[in-house]
Amino acid sequence: MNNLRQLFIDQLVKKGADPASLPGMLRALSKILSANPEIDTATANEKLCYLGWNEIQMDYHILQLALAYFESEEPAASERFSQNEGRRQAMRLRELTTSPVAMGEA
């Protein structure tokens, strides 16, 4: 999970995000994605710009990294990003494939 966070932050900084303003941007992005996990990049960028975060333009890959990061951040938080059934099924599949038995720890 920590590697995912670092990868996500590195990509945001490469796109031009100011590291000092990342906590605020991440809060705004989290709220945008929790309201609509299936949002497209153009709409996400519009909403971020409307909120004053003009410094970066998100692309598809960063948006997917954001979803993965926010889903993995807290166990309870994943429900916010699992609004549709397809996303819920993917979350359940991830939980099944990362169990101790699947990891060879049993």
For residue range 26-68, what is the model confidence (pLDDT) as tens digits? Answer: 999 999 998 888 899 999 999 999 998 888 888 999 999 998 8
Asked if residue 54 is part of any domain, the answer here is: yes
Q: How many domains does the chain have?
A: 1
Structure-token pair, residue 54: 């003009």
78 is a domain residue: yes
Question: What tokens were used for 60?
Answer: 């598809």
State the pLDDT at residue 77. Answer: 52
Q: Sorting pLDDT into bands at 50, 70 and 90, what band is 93?
A: very low
- What Å distances lie between residue 34 and 15, 18, 58, 100, CA to CA? 22, 23, 16, 29
Task: Say which residue, 4 or 97, is predicted with more confidence.
Answer: 4
User: Would you say residue 66 lies in a domain?
Assistant: yes
7 assigned to some structural domain = yes
- Element (DSSP H or E) covering residue 30: helix 22-35
Look at residue 105 and tell me if it is in a domain: no
Residue 106 lies in a domain: no
104 lies in a domain?
no
pTM for this predicted structure:
0.66
pLDDT at 85 over 50: yes
Domain residues for the domain of 22 are: 2-97
Q: Residue 103 falls within a domain, yes or no?
A: no
